[in-house]
Chain A
Amino acid sequence: MIRDFLANLDTLLIYAFAALALASAAAMLVLRTPMRVALALITCMVSLGGVYGLLGVHFVAAFQVLIYVGAVMVFMVYAIMLLDPRDEAATARYSSLLWPGVFGFALLAEALAAGYWNDLPGAPRGATGGSFDIASFSSAFLSEYWLHFELTSVLLLVAVVAAIAVIRENRRSDRG
Chain B
Amino acid sequence: MGLLTLIVLLPLLGFLVNGLAGNRLGKRFVSVVGCGLPAIAFAVTVKCFLDLQAGGWAPLAETAYAWAVVGQSSFEIAFWFDRLTAVMALVVTGVGTLIHIYSIGYMHEDKSYARYFAYLNLFLFFMLLLVLGKSLLVLFVGWEGVGLASYLLIGFWFGDMEKAAAGKKAFVFNRIGDAGFLLGMFAIYSALGTFDMPAINAAFMGASTPAVSASLVGILLFIGATGKSAQIPLYVWLPDAMAGPTPVSALIHAATMVTAGVYLVARMSGIYLHAPEASTIIAAVGALTALMAATIAIAQDDIKKVLAYSTVSQLGFMFVALGVGAYGVAIFHVYTHAFFKACLFLGAGSVIHAMSGEQDIKKMGGLGRKIPITFVTFAVATAAISGIPPLAGFFSKDEILWYALASGRGGSVLLFAVMAFTALLTAFYMFRLFWLTFMGAPRMAKEVEHHVHESPASMTGVLVVLAVLSAVGGFLSIPHFLEPMLPLPETMAAMQPYHYWVMGGSIAIAATGLAGAIWFFAGDASRAGAIRAGFAGVYRVLSNKYYIDELYDRLFGRPLVWISDAVFLRLGDRMIIDGTLNGLASVAQRAAGRLSRVQTGSLHKYAFLVLVGMVASFVWMWTHG
Interface residues of B in 563-616 (CB under 8 A from A): 602, 604-605, 608, 611-612, 614-615
Per the CB 8 Å criterion, the residue count for chain B at the interface is 12
B619 at the interface (CB under 8 A from A): yes
B618 at the interface (CB under 8 A from A): yes
Residue of B nearest to A100 (CB): B608
Q: Say how far B554's CB is from chain A's closest CB, in angstroms.
A: 77
B67 at the interface (CB under 8 A from A): no
A107 at the interface (CB under 8 A from B): yes
Q: Which residues of A contact B619 (CB under 8 A)?
A: 111
Q: Given A114-B622, A115-B622: A108 and B604 within 8 A (CB)?
A: no
Q: Which residues of A contact B611 (CB under 8 A)?
A: 101, 104-105, 108
- Could you tell me if A104 and B604 are in contact, using CB atoms closer than 8 angstroms? no
Q: Which residues of A contact B621 (CB under 8 A)?
A: 115
Q: Say how far B495's CB is from chain A's closest CB, in angstroms.
A: 111
Q: Which of A104, A114, A118 contacts B608 (CB 8 A)?
A: A104
- The interface size bin for chain A is 10 to 19
Q: Which residues of B contact A127 (CB under 8 A)?
A: none
Q: Which residues of B contact A101 (CB under 8 A)?
A: 604, 608, 611
The answer for the CA separation of A54 and B602 in the assembled complex, in Å, is: 42
Q: Say how far B141's CB is from chain A's closest CB, in angstroms.
A: 71
A153 at the interface (CB under 8 A from B): no
Interface residues of A in 110-138 (CB under 8 A from B): 111-112, 114-115, 118-119
The answer for the CA separation of A104 and B610 in the assembled complex, in Å, is: 10
Residue of B nearest to A115 (CB): B622
- Could you tell me if A104 and B612 are in contact, using CB atoms closer than 8 angstroms? yes
Residue of B nearest to A101 (CB): B608
Q: Given A114-B622, A118-B622, A119-B622: A96 and B604 within 8 A (CB)?
A: yes
Q: Which residues of A contact B618 (CB under 8 A)?
A: 108, 111-112, 115
A147 at the interface (CB under 8 A from B): no
The answer for the CA separation of A64 and B604 in the assembled complex, in Å, is: 29
The answer for the CA separation of A96 and B622 in the assembled complex, in Å, is: 31
The answer for the CA separation of A97 and B614 in the assembled complex, in Å, is: 17
A170 at the interface (CB under 8 A from B): no
Beyond A96-B604, A107-B615, A118-B622, list 16 extra A-B contacts (CB 8 Å). A95-B604, A96-B602, A100-B608, A101-B608, A101-B611, A104-B608, A104-B611, A107-B612, A108-B611, A108-B615, A108-B618, A112-B618, A115-B618, A115-B621, A115-B622, A119-B622
Sampled A-B contacts (15; CB under 8 Å):
A97-B605, A97-B608, A101-B604, A101-B611, A104-B608, A104-B611, A104-B615, A105-B611, A107-B612, A108-B614, A108-B615, A112-B618, A115-B618, A118-B622, A119-B622
